[in-house]
Amino acid sequence: MKRYAFCLALSFFLSATGVSAAEQAEDSRKEGEVTFNRLLDKLTSDYEKGLQAPAQTSPADPAGPDLEDRYWITAKAADKYERTKLLEAGLSIEEIRPDSVSGVIHKNSLPLLSEKGFVVESRKTLAQYVREDMKDFPAADSAYSNYRESADILKNLAAKNQDIASLFSLGKTIEGREMWTLRINTSAKGETPSAKPGAFYVGTHHAREHLATEVPLLFAVWLMDNRNAPEIKKYIDTLDIYITPMLNPDGVEYDISTGKYRMHRKNARTNADKTVGVDLNRNYDSWWCTAGSSSYPGSDTYCGTAPFSEPETQAVKKFVEARKNLKTLMSYHSFSNLILYPWGGKDGPVENERDRRVFAKMGGEMAALTGYTPELSSDLYVATGDTCDWAYATSGIFAFTTELEGGSFYPGSGIIAGSVRKNVKAAVYMLSVSGDPYRVLN
């Protein structure tokens, strides 16, 4: 089928029958069973409860000294080159405007900014930022899944769909948590290899980007709900699908464990200087620890002591290298409404002309389905050591980063349902091309 015709069919399916097909099937489900629409309903009602409970949404005390040591700053930056330099100075860039950016920086890195001539327009400690700017706090965000809840949903899906789904772990984190992965394949189970073309969805490299767990997790639920719909069944029958909603469970739990958000981005590694965490999206072996990455352990963009020094990135390496059948990868982050594709660590697109066209085409289609903007990663800023550059460079995988919406790390649970619905469409599109991504050029 021609791409255009396929997209029309897909969007008709999702809007007219697809997403709502689960609603129609809902009545026949047993009470207590986890389904996509029940989860979305719960999210909506939890959000409403949260809004009605001022004690839960009103500002709380900051989470301790950790938030006093780091700043939310706005600095002048006119282009991607200046943004890259700011990343190298240890700023994690979270908001980009035409001539400035905002993000998080450790107090020890602030002198470096002035040494390098950067103009800091405003700054406040994260404790102040939490008090003044955050819309929500963990109690009111109970709709988001913590480690145990996300694991329970995946276990439930695997148990209820044993003929096509299985659960395994990519490996253990530093604190011994599992990186649970739902595999959907009609013949192979667990870690057994498969010759079918593969698609890999991975969430939450960055701890505080909690929406990036919900999207792949609820996509897994949606897929299982719709497993018998012909438009979906054909992908389930022919592909090898992997969904790891929470790659960084230690970081996630560290971020929420005090009952107040800690704005933690990295994993839970205790560094030599006692600071916490390595930026997992700077730890892959792709021009490691050069542009857009910091070698200062306290920095939010700290690259670690070596490429793949961390169990989480090691696990992805082992997983990807053992599966030559993988064709596509989606890594979920938040919050800039973007669909990004390589290169990210080098200033320019991938060299192979055919691949470049596939990236642009797939990025454009997924952007149209989500309402996000497609962009070459390095046009945002050059940052080395990310997942997608590595996956494409070493295995030729068409690897994308989705920067979900939200406008903040903690946009509240009201954002989840809408974000999941639009990203399910893009995720299904990725399935539709995973058989042979080069077909998008026909």
Please state whether 397 falls in left (phi above 0), alpha (psi between -120 and 50) or beta: beta
**Pairing verdict, β 240-244 and 198-203:** parallel
Choices 196-204, 250-258, 373-381, 426-434 (CB under 6 A): range interacting with ligand 0X9: 373-381
**Pairing verdict, β 373-376 and 338-341:** parallel
Count residues near ligand 0X9 (CB under 6 A): 17
Q: How far separated are the first and last CA of the chain, in Å rounded?
A: 9
Interface pick for ligand 0X9 out of 381, 392, 410, 429 (rule CB under 6 A): 381
Choices 48-56, 140-148, 159-167, 337-345 (CB under 6 A): range interacting with ligand 0X9: 337-345
377 in contact with ligand 0X9 (CB under 6 A):
yes
Interface pick for ligand 0X9 out of 208, 333, 421, 425 (rule CB under 6 A): 333
206 in contact with Zn ion (CB under 5 A):
yes
- In our burial notation (b when 16+ CB lie closer than 10 A, e otherwise), range 257-271 reads eeebbbbbbbbbbeb
Residue 344 contact, options ligand 0X9, Zn ion, none, Cβ 5-8 Å cut-off depending on partner type: ligand 0X9
- Spot the catalytic one: 209, 214, 310, 403: 403
Interface pick for ligand 0X9 out of 383, 399, 416, 427 (rule CB under 6 A): 383
Name the helix (H) or strand (E) containing 256.
helix 249-256
Complex with ligand 0X9: residue 181 or 281, whichever CB lies closer: 281
Cβ pair 182, 223 in contact under 8 A: no
Complex with ligand 0X9: residue 168 or 302, whichever CB lies closer: 302
Of 323, 322, 297, nearest in space to 310 by CA: 297
Cβ partners under 8 Å of residue 370, min gap 6: 337, 339, 402, 422, 423, 425, 426
In the complex, minimum distance from the CB of residue 366 to ligand 0X9, in angstroms, rounded to a whole number: 15
Choices 57-65, 179-187, 378-386, 434-442 (CB under 6 A): range interacting with ligand 0X9: 378-386
Interface pick for Zn ion out of 177, 264, 327, 333 (rule CB under 5 A): 333
Using CA atoms, how far apart are residues 334 and 322, in angstroms rounded to an integer? 28
Complex with Zn ion: residue 197 or 406, whichever CB lies closer: 406
The reply to whether 403 belongs to the active site is yes
Taking residue 309's Cβ as centre, other Cβ atoms within 10 Å add up to: 14
DSSP-assigned states of every residue in 368-393: HHHT-EEEEHHHH----S-HHHHHHH
Residues lying near Zn ion in the complex (CB under 5 A) are found at 206, 209, 333
Residues lying near ligand 0X9 in the complex (CB under 6 A) are found at 92, 94, 206, 209, 281, 333, 340, 344-345, 377-378, 380-381, 383, 386, 401, 403
Catalytic residues: 403
